[in-house]
């Protein structure tokens, strides 16, 4: 599958290490544009839209195995040698699945606020809010925001979701994401990542202090699966670590890499 991407390279160098960034559920590569500019001072950064998200292709199948294979195809197509792969949330699980399937194809792994385990679904109300919007009759973005506000009071979350809304060639509102496909595959998105053997290469987990996606009780199992494992906890941050505390996130990442 052909994945949409943006390449960010603030200091172009032919030998700069490629660093691939994978967004989370209902997000897109654009969520990482601001943070990536600082990362790109040292690395050749690729911001990637995963399948059924952003400007990438849609497909009925959506699980971590096929997304890892999409990523392998991307790396092979662009002839990227030993990249660092970083993913947030769903993107973090995709990155871990890639490491499980293709451990020799990456140099280092960075996982942002997600663990291996199956997650308890907490997006149902958001999916319901998005499905409640009647796109053919939608008069404005403000009206879409008002509909979502009946389900989600946080303006920041609503703005994040509304980044998926655009006008198509017929000037009709449409979703960039494959909303129907994501709803149908939601259980696959919550699923655990399975490893047949430990991933031996350097691995960084960055979690938000206020988040419950990476629990203290899971650290031993993560250490077993990732023997070369480092954990950094960003204070005063929830699940969207890189957006809530961007400088602290960058400090944790850049010091480690």
Catalytic residues: 89, 239
Helix axes 124-131, 141-149, angle to 10 degrees: 140
- Longest distance between any two alpha carbons in the chain, whole Å: 53
Q: In what order do the strands lie in the sheet with 5-8?
A: 5-8, 44-48, 18-22, 84-88, 108-112, 203-208, 229-234
Count Cβ atoms below 10 Å from residue 226 Cβ, excluding itself.
24
* Count of positions (residues) in the chain: 257
- Measured CA to CA, the distance from residue 189 to residue 103 in angstroms comes to 22
Please, which residues bridge with residue 19 across strands? 45, 84
Give residue 145's Cα distance to chain centre: 23
């Amino acid at each position: 599958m052909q994945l949409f991407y943006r390449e960010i390279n603030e200091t172009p160098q032919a030998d700069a290490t490629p660093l691939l960034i994978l967004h989370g559920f209902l997000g897109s590569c654009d969520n990482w544009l601001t943070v990536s500019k600082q990362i790109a001072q040292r690395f050749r950064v690729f911001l990637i839209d995963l399948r059924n998200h952003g400007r990438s292709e849609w497909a009925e199948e959506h699980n971590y195995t096929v997304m890892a294979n999409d990523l392998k195809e991307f790396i092979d197509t662009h002839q990227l040698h030993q990249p660092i792969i970083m993913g947030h949330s769903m993107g973090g699980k995709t990155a871990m699945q890639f490491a499980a399937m293709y451990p020799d194809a990456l140099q280092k792994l960075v996982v942002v606020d997600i663990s291996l385990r199956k997650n308890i679904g907490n997006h149902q109300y958001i999916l319901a809010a998005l499905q409640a919007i009647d796109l053919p009759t939608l008069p404005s973005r403000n009206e879409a925001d008002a509909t979502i506000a009946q389900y989600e009071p946080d303006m920041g979350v609503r703005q994040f979701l509304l980044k998926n809304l655009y006008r198509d060639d017929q000037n009709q509102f449409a979703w960039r994401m494959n909303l129907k496909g994501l709803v149908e595959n939601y259980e696959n998105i919550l699923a655990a990542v399975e490893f047949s053997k430990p991933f031996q290469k350097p691995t960084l987990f960055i979690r938000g202090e206020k988040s419950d996606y990476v629990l203290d009780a899971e650290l031993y199992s993560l250490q077993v699966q990732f023997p070369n494992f480092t954990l950094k906890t960003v204070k005063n941050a929830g699940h969207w670590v890189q957006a809530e505390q961007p400088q602290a996130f960058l400090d944790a990442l850049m010091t480690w890499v």
